[in-house]
Amino acid sequence: MFNTECKVNFFDADPAGIIFYASLFKFSHAAYEDILKSLKTERDYFFDSELVLPIVHAEADYLKPIKAGDILDVNVHVSRLLKSSFELTYTFELPDRSIAAIAKTVHVAVSKNSFTKAYLPEDLYSGLSKHSAG
């Protein structure tokens, strides 16, 4: 599992001071960037000339109010790892350790030139497998 944190700023909230639903995906993507950087792969997959890793599915469950000013612990694990795709699960914990939200994103390796499905490179697959739930 990979851990990071985020702060809910006022601009991440709706007029009632509760997180705007899309802000959770912004925090999820920031955690995704952090976990990829932590893998220290040979390639920078955000600026790779041959491969892209688009999100093809995203979902979230909001379990408790998340308010402006909250500091959230974000725990990320690879919940599914296949030859060409992977799923990340993000658990957002409040300071009292209660779970406020859970999000998931599914990423597919795609050739940048032909936009067809490709295999995950070995360094990426191996790095992600270290954060697998099972």
Three-state DSSP state, 33 = helix
What is the pLDDT at residue 2? Answer: 92
Q: What is the CATH number of the domain that holds 28?
A: 3.10.129.10
Three-state DSSP state, 46 = coil
93, part of any domain: yes
What is the pLDDT at residue 134? Answer: 60
Decide if pLDDT at 13 tops 70. Answer: yes
Decide if pLDDT at 103 tops 70. Answer: yes
What is the total count of domains within the chain? Answer: 1
134, part of any domain: no
Helical spans, DSSP H, in 14-98: 21-38
- Domain hosting residue 98, numbered range: 2-129
pTM for the whole structure: 0.94
Average pLDDT, the chain: 95
35, part of any domain: yes
Q: Which residues are catalytic?
A: 14
Contact 95, 103 (CB under 8 A): no
95, part of any domain: yes
Q: Is 19 exposed, middle or buried (0-12, 13-18, 19+ CB in 10 A)?
A: buried
Helical spans, DSSP H, in 46-117: none
Decide if pLDDT at 5 tops 90. Answer: yes
* pLDDT classification of 131: cutoffs 50, 70, 90: very high
